[in-house]
Chains A and B, each alone.
Chain A
């Protein structure tokens, strides 16, 4: 009975501290999406240098087998790429000379 109890406690601790498994496909999908969005931003003469670095870091983490970190970085890269694309598209219609020149 005691043995069963200890095993249950151990399982509970392991279960509560474990992170959901991330597979290679999920990481690759996230990296590809971030790259695609970044390229879209660059096409619009936008894109941020930091996004490129995040994508590289994600790929490096993936090759090292740290899929959790790779996914996190890829998702961060995607958020940045979206912001940079939004910036480029928004600026097309809203760029202007400053008020003091008009």
Chain B
């Protein structure tokens, strides 16, 4: 709390002074510029295909799998769960903008009322609690199936995460950026180590996906999980892989990380839910 206040103060000061603070727009130009230079032939759709750009065999397997996508059942079940009224007769649609349809590509979103970043799983659970229902697990299970259905309604729409000119939104973005570029775990890795300079190269027999486009595939059916899971589930798995104690899901830190990381994929068409090994 203390840290986010001091970050807030720093950002506000820099904005008032109009000095060295470049801002998210300039950041995105540099970040996406790096990847466009690294992979000049890639379209935004190509970026969302991640590791499948770098391994013909795996790409071929993926194409075969996608003839009968493993997430279709999750979408159907998610739709049923979403449309089923709560015990009090109200529905999820009453809580979500546009009834929840075609909004997934806009999340996470900064909420000016609370001053915090909202994720779709967060809003779904808030809706449940507002209607006297128990919150659901945000990493897997029913909530993620609902997420699968909502994401499917946005399929093909360009991800468009907004970072408004509000010091609190900018502070949240900055915290997400800090977490992304911070070394953690026994191996001292930061997220960027694998997904920027090493993107397209191989670690332990697996090609590394570029940072741009990753968020476009979530929620994802992973063969390893045998089910569909949310992006924060993947973040936790990744942190665990590098020996770092994973951040807790749906905390301010984790939501801000998702805010920053999804922002990197602005302009990439949402292609979720998707399938990965």
Which of B181, B196, B243, B245 is the most central at the interface, judged by chain A CB atoms within 10 Å of its CB?
A: B245
Assembly CA distance A50 to B241 (angstroms): 11
Given that A98-B192, A100-B34 are known contacts, is A52 also in contact with B245, CB under 8 Å in the complex?
A: yes
In-complex Cβ contact of A95 among B3, B178, B240, B243 (8 A): B178
In-complex Cβ contact of A87 among B178, B184, B247, B253 (8 A): B184
In-complex Cβ contact of A50 among B182, B190, B196, B243 (8 A): B243
* Nearest chain A residue, comparing its CB with the CB of B190: A95
| 0 or 1 for each of A60-102: is its CB under 8 Å from B? (1 = yes) | 0000000000000000000010001001100110011110110
Please tell me if the beta carbons of B253 and A45 are within 8 angstroms of each other in the complex. Answer: yes
Q: List 9 A-B contacts (CB under 8 A).
A: A45-B179, A48-B245, A49-B185, A49-B245, A52-B245, A87-B184, A91-B184, A97-B181, A97-B192
Please tell me if the beta carbons of B186 and A48 are within 8 angstroms of each other in the complex. Answer: yes
Q: How many residues of B contact A (CB 8 A)?
A: 23
* Nearest chain B residue, comparing its CB with the CB of A47: B245
Given A46-B245, A49-B186, A95-B182, 20 more A-B residue pairs with CB atoms under 8 Å apart are: A41-B245, A42-B245, A45-B247, A46-B244, A48-B185, A48-B186, A49-B185, A49-B240, A49-B244, A52-B245, A80-B186, A91-B182, A91-B184, A95-B181, A95-B190, A96-B181, A97-B192, A100-B34, A100-B197, A101-B30
In-complex Cβ contact of A46 among B34, B181, B184 (8 A): B184
| 0 or 1 for each of B115-153: is its CB under 8 Å from A? (1 = yes) | 000000000000000000000000000000000000000
| 0 or 1 for each of B244-270: is its CB under 8 Å from A? (1 = yes) | 110100000100000000000000000
Assembly CA distance A92 to B247 (angstroms): 16
* Nearest chain A residue, comparing its CB with the CB of B247: A45
Q: Which residues of B contact A92 (CB under 8 A)?
A: 3
Q: Which residues of B contact A100 (CB under 8 A)?
A: 34, 197
Q: Does B188 contact A (CB under 8 A)?
A: yes
Provide the main secondary structure of the chain A interface.
helix
* Nearest chain B residue, comparing its CB with the CB of A88: B184
| B interface residues with partner A (beta carbon < 8 Å) | 3, 30-31, 34, 178-179, 181-186, 188, 190, 192, 196-197, 240, 243-245, 247, 253
Name the distance in Å between A43's Cβ and chain B's nearest Cβ: 11
Q: Which residues of B contact A98 (CB under 8 A)?
A: 192, 196-197
Name the distance in Å between A94's Cβ and chain B's nearest Cβ: 9
Assembly CA distance A95 to B175 (angstroms): 11
Name the distance in Å between B33's Cβ and chain A's nearest Cβ: 9
Shortest Cβ-Cβ A-B pairs, 8 listed: A47-B245, A95-B182, A91-B182, A48-B186, A95-B181, A49-B243, A48-B243, A42-B245
Please tell me if the beta carbons of B183 and A95 are within 8 angstroms of each other in the complex. Answer: yes
Assembly CA distance A64 to B245 (angstroms): 27
Please tell me if the beta carbons of A87 and B188 are within 8 angstroms of each other in the complex. Answer: yes
Name the distance in Å between B139's Cβ and chain A's nearest Cβ: 17
